[in-house]
Chains A and B, each alone.
Chain A
Amino acid sequence: MKLIFLFILCTLCSFQLSAQCCSAGNPVAGSGFESASTKGECQVSSAIKYSLSDQYYFHDCKIDNPYILKSSFLYQNLWLSYSFSNRISVSAEAGYFYDKSQKLSFNDDPFRLGTSGIGDVALAVKIIVLKKVKPVTQLAFSAGTKIPVGAFHQSVDGITIPVSLQPSSGAIKWTANASFQRLSADQSWGFASQAMLALSSEINKDYLIYRHGTFLRTNAGVMHRVLPKMNVSLFGVLDVRGKDTREFDQVVTGTGSFAILVQPWIQYAFRSDRILFFNIESPVYRYFNGELLGNKFAAQIGFRATFNTYNKKKSI
């Protein structure tokens, strides 16, 4: 049972970029819906994610742009979680961008503009309000923050990299999350759903005054155990992003979007507490309020390990 439980939770533990490209800050964050559900349980997870965007859209139509050939990043996160009780846990996440860049066509020559550096730190507290064993059912809420400790003024050859390519978002963000999951009686099938809301504070650094729009992600999906140690999941995701504002609360026209994505997962458990996971995220429909670079796909591979410190202490 624990294995299945971990499979679903692992699936839900990853929040990723919406179909709107070039968002500053961490692309993967602890969702607050971690599987640390028994007292003294400690989890460690790390994942590498690659994302590629190479097409500009106006509303939902593809359009050309004169400069940007593609935009991509390669990011690795480290996520830790600890359960103080059977219902309350805390988590922290940090990461590093090995590359966050754009390939530009400048004077007909390809030109790379980008950098690398530490991303923001995310912290969250999760409370499980409903926990049933037969059938396995769980409802949890979490709240957290993202602290912009990462690199935000990276420069290359005397030119400061654009804000959208900086590893840090430059703004404190507040997140709230609700998640629900239920397994079938034989635990070969599972259903899970989640909603996450992220509010951004205003960036006020040097000449930049900017506030990212509110971001809402909801997803729902099913999991099926195809082998004793392997399962597959398919999630549908709806992302809604509000409009950004700049100085004097001017609305940045053209920002804001919604997108529908599919997210297939494969997960393999070496042991009940050691899980390898892989997923792809691909937009199937998107609508931008203006002209924006859209995400083509993102792929992620990661590993998660669980340790129960409480039982060890007791046995000692």
Chain B
Amino acid sequence: MNKCLLIACFVSLLMIGFSCKKENPIVPDPSDNLAIDSIVPEKRTIVVWEEIGVKVYTRGTGLSYLWSTNHGTLIGQDSVTVRYWACPTCTGLNTIECKVSNEYGTVSDTVMIKVL
């Protein structure tokens, strides 16, 4: 009986020993170096001359930003936020693009704003 118990304990210890893997060092996700998580406007549908804020959420360090739009006007508020409005000839579905760059390259994302 004691012998069986001893063997069982030994096998259990072996199983535990083999089952434990060595802790790997944490490798950062490549996207942590440079990524745009999202571009978030205050509203997605606005009327002519209505002003909204648009904010970009990013990952990475040493980032530079370049905002553009196909119709309407953008004014910088801070490095990650711009103000947007559209004149009467800018009605329709408009695109705001943000390009983010650092030493790892450039990524971009867009958001659509409907101007009524």
Contact = CB atoms under 8 A, between A and B. Distances in A.
Interface of A: 65-67, 104, 106, 111, 113, 153, 155, 157-160, 162-163, 206-210, 244, 246, 250, 252-255, 290-292
B73 interface: yes
5 nearest A-B residue pairs (beta carbon)? A160-B68, A291-B88, A207-B95, A208-B70, A207-B70
24 contacts: A104-B75, A106-B83, A111-B75, A153-B68, A158-B64, A158-B67, A158-B76, A159-B66, A159-B74, A159-B76, A160-B67, A162-B69, A207-B95, A207-B110, A246-B92, A252-B89, A253-B89, A254-B88, A254-B89, A255-B89, A290-B88, A291-B89, A292-B88, A292-B89
A195 B88 CA distance: 30
A109 to B, nearest CB: 11
A162 B89 contact: no
Given A67-B49, A106-B83, A254-B89, A158 B97 contact: no
Interface in B54-99: 64-76, 79, 82-83, 85, 87-89, 91-92, 95, 97
Identify the interface centre among A113, A155, A159, A250: most chain B CB within 10 Å of its CB.
A159
Interface residues of B, number: 27
Nearest to B66: A158
Interface of B: 48-49, 64-76, 79, 82-83, 85, 87-89, 91-92, 95, 97, 110
Nearest to B110: A207
A292 to B, nearest CB: 7
B66 A66 contact: no
Nearest to B96: A207
A290 B87 CA distance: 11
Decide if the interface of chain B is mainly helix, strand, loop or mixed: strand
Nearest to B48: A291
A106 to B, nearest CB: 6
A244 B88 CA distance: 13
B102 to A, nearest CB: 13
A145 to B, nearest CB: 25
B62 to A, nearest CB: 14
A23 B22 CA distance: 67
Contacts of B89: 244, 252-255, 290-292
Nearest to A158: B65
Contacts of B92: 246, 250, 252
A155 B66 contact: yes
A284 B53 CA distance: 39
Contacts of B69: 160, 162, 207
Nearest to A106: B75
B68 A155 contact: yes
A111 B85 CA distance: 15
Contacts of A66: 49
B76 A206 contact: no
Nearest to B97: A207
A209 B91 CA distance: 14
A113 B110 contact: no
Given A66-B49, A104-B75, A159 B88 contact: no
A24 to B, nearest CB: 13
Contacts of A255: 89
A209 B76 CA distance: 24
A113 B73 CA distance: 10
